[in-house]
Amino acid sequence: MAAHDQGDDLRRFSGPHESTIVQVSIDEALEQNWLDIWYQPKIDLRRKCLAGAEALVRMQHPQAGLLWPEDYISLLDDDGLTKLVEHTVLTTLRHWTVFADAGFNLRLAINVPAALLPRLPIKALVAAHRPASDNWPGIVLDVTEDQLVRDIALTRKIAEDLKACGVAVAIDDFGAGYSSFSSLRDLPFAELKIHGSFVKNCATDVTNAAICQTAIDLAHRFGSLAVAKSIDSIADLQALMVMGCDFGQGALVAPAMPKDRFLDALRKHMNRPNASQPPPTDNAEHVA
């Protein structure tokens, strides 16, 4: 839903949709099946294998075409955002079973606004809809750094409560906010995701390299994993591997793609003559 009672908002889109006014309604999007979940692979940089994927919402609008969340997210009120996140969680849990049935045990991540954590029934949703498989590795909620530190005590309580049902919290876009090390110490986070602006040119930019190395070391000191976002060059990928970064994602690794195309890509790789086969109880699938 959006700010008006009818649940619709109008917006003039720029770029390819310039001068096009469209209506955005989460209720209508759900009823008309406009929402789709795409997946961007997350690679284990040490083992050179697929460790998971980030679930990303796309809206196929009848007038404006394919929309990214940034195209319409600002139009939604808390009720609309809640419905969007709940739909994403349920769809991602359902898709995990599809991937698992095809032989791929992936840990999937979902972006969630921190302000919604207190009102989202994540624990109840997971309890009611989690996969029946004993091999389910749980899901990760990516929450941006600047949002997490606004209420450390509440965030910690929610994170600890969710952990019991297989849901972990990751600090997203680390470095873009202004959190102190002491505040991070009080957050039980599973992953530290380094902002793409610092990952870019980390192989040649001394400052970016220092920030990435500090973030990686910090994550490890807290017993967590470091994830580099928006990797788009081989040089940066190699530099991150030398730094000891655990996971990576970005255009160089693989772009986000619809569920069926993502699954087809996994199957095609596994059918290559020399493709590595994943061990049956491992949470990662080899892609290199």
Q: Which sequence spans correspond to the domains of the chain?
A: 34-189+256-286
- DSSP conformation class of 76: B
* Cα 120 to Cα 124, 151, 229, distances in angstroms: 9, 16, 26
Contacts for 274 with CB less than 8 Å, ≥ 6 apart: none
Per-residue pLDDT averaged across 198-205, rounded? 98
The per-residue pLDDT of the chain, averaged, comes to 84
Give the span between the Cα atoms of 194 and 216, in whole angstroms.
Answer: 8
Answer CATH for 34-189+256-286 from 3.40.50.12160, 3.20.20.450, 3.40.50.300, 3.40.47.10: 3.20.20.450
Q: Is the pLDDT of residue 182 over 70?
A: no
pLDDT tens figures, 225-252: 999 999 999 999 999 999 999 999 999 9
The pLDDT-based confidence of 153 (bands split at 50, 70, 90) is confident
Query: Higher-confidence residue: 176 or 30?
Result: 30
Query: Higher-confidence residue: 185 or 102?
Result: 102
**Would you put residue 229 in left (φ > 0), alpha (ψ -120 to 50) or beta?**
beta
Q: What is the pTM of this model?
A: 0.85
* 3-state SS, residue 115: helix
Query: Higher-confidence residue: 153 or 34?
Result: 34
Per-residue pLDDT averaged across 247-273, rounded? 87
Per-residue pLDDT averaged across 59-64, rounded? 90
Give the span between the Cα atoms of 93 and 136, in whole angstroms.
Answer: 10
% residues pLDDT > 70 (the chain) = 83
Rounded to the nearest angstrom, the gap between the alpha carbon of residue 231 and the centroid of all alpha carbons in its chain is: 15
The pLDDT-based confidence of 91 (bands split at 50, 70, 90) is very high
